[in-house]
Amino acid sequence: MPLVVFNTLSGMKEEFKPLRDNEVRIYVCGPTVYDYSHIGHARTYIVFDVIVRYLRYKGYKVKYIVNITDIEDKIIRRAKELGITPLELARKFEKEFFKDIERLGLVKADRYPRATEHIRDMIKVIEALMRKGYAYRVGNDVYFDVSKLKDYGKLSRQKVNSLKAGARVEIRRGKKSPLDFALWRGVSKDEPGWDSPWGKGRPGWHIECTVMAIKHLGEQIDLHGGGEDLIFPHHENEIAQSEAYSGKKPFAKYWLHTGLLMVKGEKMSKSLRNIISIREFIDKYGADTLRLLVLSSHYRSPIEFSEDKALQAKRSLIKLYGILERARLMVKFKEKGGKIEEVRERAKEFRREFEEAMNDDFNTPKALAALFRFSSYLESLIDKGYSGESIRVAYETVVWALKLLGFKMKYAKLSEERLASLLPLLIEIRGELRRRRVWDLADRIRDKLGEMGIALEDREDGTVWRYIPNLLTD
């Protein structure tokens, strides 16, 4: 099955074919660094982390860019509140962003370009747009003239006369249309700015991404991503100015957008004061719990966050990692041989099912469902006493899938030496005590093992053990 993706630009699934054979250029809108990133941001970062991992697994050479917006109105306002410079604020929260992505276990982008490092490039692009008649000056400001493009609105699939000025669309005197957006804004003496042909000022929000994408990936790219709240106006305006500047279409062949993370029906955002920071979540539940929570929903669907869902995801991971730890020890301490062909066939079937799900617009919920079914199969191999070699094949297959999805798999490991020498004997002794009806001592052994995270399950065919690991937050 070929890889297909849902392209926001066309509104349908399309077979993924990059502009250049075997090479994929990806640009994802990164953070505006004025505060700690929250788990709504993390959803987008995790989704594109998995997309990059999977494309590389498929054999593509991926160039991955995530920008840093380090000059913007929110940064300036917050810096004033704290009594520091906008640059000091931006560098502080840029560092915190990198700490968060390290804790999340994200693949590193090839570059994280800063907006302030590309001011001269932005001025040159704005000058070119003015020469071509796509932009006009009003005092010290420069605006993009939306009326010059017949296909403006093609990403959000709206007509110009039906569009209204909304979030982050500036309404100012002198503009020909409320939809015309700022490429350059003049600033007052006490505001940060850069010299330009139009006076001291700073770039508009949208021009930053156009310039950084073109600078580091070229005038046409394969995949552009971000949250669905960026479709209009940000990504719509990116397309307009990028294609007007280069004269090439499409600016981005595929547009992928993640659904919003909601809290009680509202978008998670700082303005609504309903945010949970990435660091706060990881400290409480662990990075892999957040990854599982995100990947359990399709990336285009909204996620309604709740404490119960976070706890459920954590419990699912604890069970899964407990199976892995049992398998790891059984591989080391059980004999080889026996029934391995059956396991290899089941592993092959699981890999096929997993890849079919991922090839269908990165359907991680379906891929995870297959993974959890196969992990239950792995557990049954342990319970039934299959050979260490058979368990190894299934164990390595589960680990393969988890690594491909970016899970860190950090949890407290059992001591192999202690377990190898004591656990089988303790289970045997406890079984004999139960047969002799010495319940108190049998229960003491069970309870002590429980303190180590080992749960015993008495069944008609004997006693089996489960491991319940503690998830590590880093």
List the domain boundaries for the chain. Answer: 4-132+204-304, 306-404, 416-467
Whether residue 13 has pLDDT greater than 80? yes
What DSSP string describes 390-413? Answer: HHHHHHHHHHHHHHHTT----BPP
CATH number of 4-132+204-304: 3.40.50.620
Banded pLDDT at 232 (limits 50, 70, 90): very high
Residue 154 in contact with residue 9, Cβ under 8 Å? yes
* CA–CA dist 105, 251 (Å, integer): 30
Candidate from 21-25, 255-259, 419-423, 441-445 with smallest mean pLDDT: 419-423
Residue 33 in contact with residue 75, Cβ under 8 Å? yes
Whether residue 166 has pLDDT greater than 50? no
Q: What is the pLDDT of residue 293?
A: 98
Banded pLDDT at 168 (limits 50, 70, 90): very low
User: In a 3-state reduction of DSSP, which class is residue 220?
Assistant: coil
Banded pLDDT at 448 (limits 50, 70, 90): confident
* CA–CA dist 435, 437 (Å, integer): 5
Across 191-218, average pLDDT: 96
* CA–CA dist 16, 2 (Å, integer): 8
| Range 306-404 classified under CATH 1.20.120.640 | yes
Higher pLDDT: 47 or 473? It is: 47
Q: How many CB atoms lie within 10 A of CB 440?
A: 7
* CA–CA dist 276, 279 (Å, integer): 8
Tell me which H or E stretch contains 111.
Answer: none
Whether residue 167 has pLDDT greater than 60? no
Q: What is the pLDDT of residue 335?
A: 63
Banded pLDDT at 152 (limits 50, 70, 90): very high
Whether residue 106 has pLDDT greater than 70? yes
Banded pLDDT at 471 (limits 50, 70, 90): confident
